[in-house]
Amino acid sequence: MTLRILLNLSPDYRALWHQPLASALADAGVSAELCDRPGGPVDYVVHAPNGPVQDFSTLPGLRAVLNIWAGVDKVLHNPTLDVPLARMVDPGLTEAMVEYVTAHVLRHHIGMDRDIANPGHDWVQRPVPLARERPVGILGLGVLGAACARALSALNFPVTGWSRSPKTLPGVASFAGEAGLHKVLSRAQMLVALLPETPATTEILNARTLAMLPRGAFVINPGRGPLIDDTALLAALDSGQIAHATLDVFRSEPLPKAHPYWAHPKVTVTPHAAADTRALTAVPVIVENIRRDQAGEPLLHRVDRDLGY
């Protein structure tokens, strides 16, 4: 039997994915036809939320949607989605997120901005604390949060993490629940948000929780824009409660030109570029999920609709 797989991707991604996916399926002994447009039955959709097809009901025979993004907030609530949905866990994406988070933590920790923007050419030597003296908090200890926690812990940062269910990660103090959130926030001089966007995590960083951070803390958000109450963050930046925010994700993307974040001297905007999915490392995950489904085995990284991630 030949499977029909719809590559529901933007044209630039389709160009990057088509050949590696076709080769990997052939290598795995899976007979498949890759199509770029719907029309007739389709077994699987390799899906990006910005792909052209948004109505899954037009795809008879569909068995599963295989998202190429780690976050599923843009597809989970699609009313035409009535088949299993898998999110992407891509080793390349994880590596990229570790690099992004580590880079921005080290940047703020060492205070690199002072030396990069030094218009007066001032020669001022300042003491820099060691990583061991700079507690980092990570909200979300899933695939990405745990990988960042391990990397930062290896650099000697005292890392505290928060997740829905408690975790056991070597060298990382892990907490759950409302009391746990308070513990993590109250000691985090750097806070990294790597939670999914769900009803339970929306605006988890608000006036009340931002006030729990030590004064002058740094916020790094590569998770999702709605995790933050933007008005509260801007107020906390202006009052000095938050020293700087590095933001990769926003409620509205691209971030509108008039948004106050662009011009704010204490905000760094990156264009949702912390960690992209790479065909090289993600294609094997897609192929393995197709193989598993065809063999009657459960999908890897299947999304729990009740939890929303």
Applying CB under 6 A, the residues found at the interface with ligand NAP are 70-71, 93, 140-145, 162-165, 194-198, 200-201, 222-224, 248-249, 272, 274-275, 309
Angle formed by the axes of helices 91-110 and 279-294, to 10°?
Answer: 140
Minimum distance from CB of 72 to ligand NAP (Å)?
7
Minimum distance from CB of 292 to ligand NAP (Å)?
19
Minimum distance from CB of 241 to ligand NAP (Å)?
23
Determine whether 259 is an active site residue: no
Minimum distance from CB of 16 to ligand NAP (Å)?
16
Q: Are 32 and 2 a contacting pair, CB within 8 Å?
A: yes
Nearest residue to ligand NAP, by Cβ distance, number only: 142
Q: Are 136 and 159 a contacting pair, CB within 8 Å?
A: yes
* Rounded Cα–Cα distance for residues 77 and 64 (Å): 15
Minimum distance from CB of 166 to ligand NAP (Å)?
8
Catalytic residue among 272, 278, 291, 301: 272
Catalytic residue among 47, 134, 224, 244: 224
Helix (H) or strand (E) holding 219: strand 217-221
Output the six-digit token pair for 249: 């994700």
Q: Which is nearer to ligand NAP, 88 or 236 (CB)?
A: 88
* Rounded Cα–Cα distance for residues 228 and 254 (Å): 17
Determine whether 272 is an active site residue: yes
Q: Are 215 and 162 a contacting pair, CB within 8 Å?
A: no
Q: Which is nearer to ligand NAP, 31 or 165 (CB)?
A: 165
286-291 contact pairs (CB < 8 A, 24+): 286/21, 286/24, 286/46, 286/66, 286/68, 287/21, 287/24, 287/25, 287/28, 287/30, 289/64, 289/66, 289/86, 290/3, 290/5, 290/25, 290/30, 290/32, 290/44, 290/66, 291/28, 291/30
Minimum distance from CB of 37 to ligand NAP (Å)?
27
Q: How far is CA 72 from CA 18, 78, 179, 303, in A?
A: 22, 10, 28, 8
284, β-bridge pairs = none
Q: Which residues are catalytic?
A: 224, 272
